[in-house]
A and B are shown apart, each in its own frame.
Chain A
Amino acid sequence: MTWQLVITWNEGESSSPAVDVAPNQGWRVADRFGEYVLVRDGDIIPARGETVVTNDAYVLLDLFVTSGGNPVVEMSLPSGMSAALALKANEAL
């Protein structure tokens, strides 16, 4: 089962490339000259089995979690805040 993350900003007008994620990973939002991307960050230590995404950029983001191309959840991620995700295995998808 695969999981992907996408961030959007500018009220959904702009979006990052999707990244594949797995449990026990830390991700950080990086500012690439006004474009925002998700990058792995080994300094973020998630709780066991979880994935943590931290918004370090000065922008309000929406974070989308998808699985197998299907939308799973969407959440608002203000600057300076983190999303802790506990992905569940579901082979039906």
Chain B
Amino acid sequence: MTHNVTITYVNESDNTTSDFLIFSHPVLPCVSAALAVWQVIEHIGPGDSHRFRYTVESQLRVVWDDGESVSNAVKSMPGQGWQFTTIGNDYQLVADSHLKILPVQIGVLNAVPDTVTVQLLKDGHVWASMSGVTNGAQADFEFLPRIWVGFGQRPVTTALIDFAVMSDAWTEVDLFGLSSLTIAAQGNAAIGYQFVLRDIVGEAS
């Protein structure tokens, strides 16, 4: 896969209460599901649309100190290795051409004393995250150009209950070989919502 994919979400349904959620992996309904989402598209009412992108290139960054500290971000393609290391007095993410990884992977070796979280971002949003990466450990990311979409709401927390409402089944969208497509939400709250794919354009077009 060599091209970015431009995805247009169109709300042709009656939904005005839920957000359009996009995951990088399949999820089951649970309170924390919306916290692991790749992108949350809000405020797209009936007739509205929103464009986003699946990028071949990813961004990497490292988070530590309970999320208080964030490294420099670097752009990375599959097959590239990185090392999170100490340069002078600072922690930095630098290229490491000697790191052993597969051509379809992006790898990060943690060479600092802290246990860290390595995040891989696409389109400016966290696509995948690996926490608890200890000194000397390596975080390898391997991914397919595939997303799962549906409706959902951010979790609500009260004194007695936490809850979230979301699609029971998520619609899988395979982006391999595509350069653009439209995902249209259709239906209503009584018959249910469907996500229809159309305007599909291949890479070679």
Q: Which residues of B contact A85 (CB under 8 A)?
A: 31, 161-163
Binary flags per residue of B187-201, CB closer than 8 Å to A gives 1, else 0: 011111100000000
Task: State whether B166 touches A72 (Cβ < 8 A).
Answer: no
**Size class of A's contact patch?**
20 to 34
Q: Is the interface of B mostly helix, strand, loop or mixed?
A: loop
Task: State whether A72 touches B161 (Cβ < 8 A).
Answer: yes
Task: State whether the Cβ of A87 lies closer than 8 Å to any Cβ in chain B.
Answer: yes
Task: State whether A86 touches B165 (Cβ < 8 A).
Answer: no
Task: State whether the Cβ of A83 lies closer than 8 Å to any Cβ in chain B.
Answer: yes
Task: State whether the Cβ of A14 lies closer than 8 Å to any Cβ in chain B.
Answer: no
Q: How far is the CA of A5 from the CA of B165 in the complex (A)?
A: 15
Task: State whether A65 touches B161 (Cβ < 8 A).
Answer: yes
Q: Which residues of A contact B168 (CB under 8 A)?
A: 54-56, 80-82
How many whole Å from A5's CB to the nearest CB in chain B? 11
Task: State whether A83 touches B151 (Cβ < 8 A).
Answer: no
Binary flags per residue of B157-197, CB closer than 8 Å to A gives 1, else 0: 01111111111110000000000000000001111110000
Residue of B nearest to A9 (CB): B190
Task: State whether B163 touches A81 (Cβ < 8 A).
Answer: no
Task: State whether A82 touches B166 (Cβ < 8 A).
Answer: yes
Task: State whether B29 touches A58 (Cβ < 8 A).
Answer: no
How many whole Å from B148's CB to the nearest CB in chain A? 15
How many whole Å from A43's CB to the nearest CB in chain B? 12
Q: How far is the CA of A90 from the CA of B31 in the complex (A)?
A: 19
Binding site for B on A (CB under 8 A): 45-47, 50, 52, 54-56, 58-60, 65, 67, 72-73, 75-88, 90, 93
6 A-B interface contacts by CB (under 8 A): A47-B28, A73-B158, A75-B163, A83-B165, A86-B31, A88-B162
